[in-house]
Homo-oligomer: A and B are copies of this chain.
Amino acid sequence: MPPSSPTPSAFTFPVAARYAGMASSPLKDIFALAAKPDVVSFAGGIPDPSLFALEDIAECYDWVLTHQGTRALQYGVSEGEAELREQAARRLSRDLATDASQIRITSGSQEGLFVAAEALLEPGDVVLVESPTYLAAVQAFAVHGARMVGVETDDGGVLPDALDRAIRLHRPRLVYLIPTFQNPTGRSMSAERRAQVAEVLRRYDVPLIEDDPYGELSFDGHRFAPIAAEPGMSGRTLLMKSMSKLMSPGVRIGWIRAEGPILDTLAVAKAAISMQSSVVDQLTVARYLETKDLDAHVRRVIEVYRARRDAMAAALTPVLPAQAHVTRPEGGMFLWAALGEGYDAQLMLDDAVAAGVAYLPGWSFYAEDPDLSTMRLSFVTHSPEVIEQAVGRLGEVIARQG
């Protein structure tokens, strides 16, 4: 190897193949779009900050620093703080008996997905996902060399027969599903559909990552039991929960529920990735769950979100083309609209942004064969009035395409 005569500008860092050509990330682009002034953005899944339980949360930070201060500032353990794991287990146990020892704390559910990918995936593995699914989150699988294969869905979620065929064809390492108020469609799987899906997964012994960040944002109060609660499923499912949509995304706390030896692997992976999540934040979330009424807070939030869902659905109906199909979710944060043949939501986006309204083009949610006419619209960030006006402007943009 001959000596070079280096100058600072001559050096280029080697970049791992998994990140080659990726100068930006899908999530980053979403947030950049959402942050543009003069634009009413339906693109991000950004909670309305005016709904944060700021006083309660501040009180819990204060309590932790006053009563558990030196512990909060010291190293913790990779599994997560005991109090928080107790609270997580208590909440999960409403639907699925869970012990604190079955909880692993992560820094939000993005890290949860990454920890799971670290523990399970080999390069070349296939991961079956809903078509469409939230590929930006699933990037945690992609950078581990996994290939995402989309499975057909209908308004009731993933189709059990299609899942069966895809498993036989692709022999996936795991299946990734968001069964409740799915991102991007807002759809939920019925109890019957969950049982059918569980039956397929049991038949082929394929593990499931069940992502449930939205399930508690239920507008009619109905709580769907997780697929992990189906017979024989709890030991073959990593169930992911997050406080981001319920309490605060800035605090970055989520958890994984699992059983058996994989719990050890998850803790080792978590230690390699980030040693442990912020102990201050963990103890604060534990205190919040122990002493505040999260369910009452969520009830206040969903009152607002429901009205916004109504406003968006009402405003969209008259401006969508006749052949369009739009979901009307009973919870969560997102509406999903397919404008139909002849429309390209990506091509339309510049016009929309110029008109002061943004959405997320649907192609980015498909592992393959995207429906280019689709778009995801978050209804949670803005007031009904702002939604009506912005959807009106979006309607003019759509009309110009027709």
Assembly stoichiometry (copies): 2
Say yes or no: is A7 at the interface (Cβ < 8 Å to chain B). yes
Say yes or no: is A69 at the interface (Cβ < 8 Å to chain B). yes
Whether the pair A61, B25 counts as a contact (CB closer than 8 A) is no
Whether the pair B76, A66 counts as a contact (CB closer than 8 A) is no
Least distance between A169 CB and chain B CB atoms (Å)? 10
Q: Interface 1/0s, chain A 1-34, versus B by CB < 8 A?
A: 1011011110111111111001111011001000
Whether the pair B62, A236 counts as a contact (CB closer than 8 A) is no
Say yes or no: is A155 at the interface (Cβ < 8 Å to chain B). no
Q: A interface, how many residues as a size bin? A: 35 or more
> How many Å lie between the Cα of A236 and that of B6 in the bound state?
10
Say yes or no: is A153 at the interface (Cβ < 8 Å to chain B). no
Residue from the list B22, B49, B61, B110 in contact with A70, Cβ < 8 A: B49
Whether the pair A54, B70 counts as a contact (CB closer than 8 A) is yes
Q: Which residues of B contact A179 (CB under 8 A)?
A: none
> How many Å lie between the Cα of A8 and that of B267 in the bound state?
22
- Which chain B residue lies CB-closest to A201? B6
> How many Å lie between the Cα of A269 and that of B271 in the bound state?
17
> How many Å lie between the Cα of A66 and that of B62 in the bound state?
11
Whether the pair B272, A25 counts as a contact (CB closer than 8 A) is yes
CB within 8 Å for A15 and B120 given contacts A22-B265, A248-B73, A261-B23: yes
Q: Which residues of B contact A74 (CB under 8 A)?
A: 46-47, 49, 52, 248-250
Whether the pair B120, A16 counts as a contact (CB closer than 8 A) is yes
Least distance between A247 CB and chain B CB atoms (Å)? 8
Say yes or no: is A65 at the interface (Cβ < 8 Å to chain B). yes
Say yes or no: is A275 at the interface (Cβ < 8 Å to chain B). yes
Residue from the list B24, B202, B261, B271 in contact with A12, Cβ < 8 A: B261
Interface residues of A in 145-166 (CB under 8 A from B): none
Q: Which residues of B contact A274 (CB under 8 A)?
A: 107-108, 110-111, 114, 252, 273-274
Say yes or no: is A251 at the interface (Cβ < 8 Å to chain B). yes
> How many Å lie between the Cα of A205 and that of B120 in the bound state?
35
Q: Which residues of B contact A229 (CB under 8 A)?
A: none
Stretch in A276-284, A315-323, A332-340 touching the partner: A276-284
Q: Which residues of B contact A249 (CB under 8 A)?
A: 73-75
Whether the pair B73, A52 counts as a contact (CB closer than 8 A) is yes
Which 7 residue pairs of A and B lie closest in terms of their CB atoms, listed nearest first? A250-B279, A49-B70, A73-B248, A58-B65, A13-B262, A111-B274, A110-B275
- Could you list some 9 contacts between A and B, CB below 8 A? A6-B202, A6-B232, A8-B234, A13-B261, A14-B207, A15-B120, A54-B65, A107-B274, A110-B272
Task: List residues of chain A with CB under 8 Å of any chain B CB.
Answer: 1, 3-4, 6-9, 11-19, 22-25, 27-28, 31, 44, 46-47, 49-50, 52, 54, 57-58, 61-62, 65-66, 69-78, 107-108, 110-111, 114, 118-123, 139-140, 143-144, 167-168, 171, 173-174, 202-205, 207, 232, 234-236, 248-252, 258-262, 264-265, 267-269, 271-281
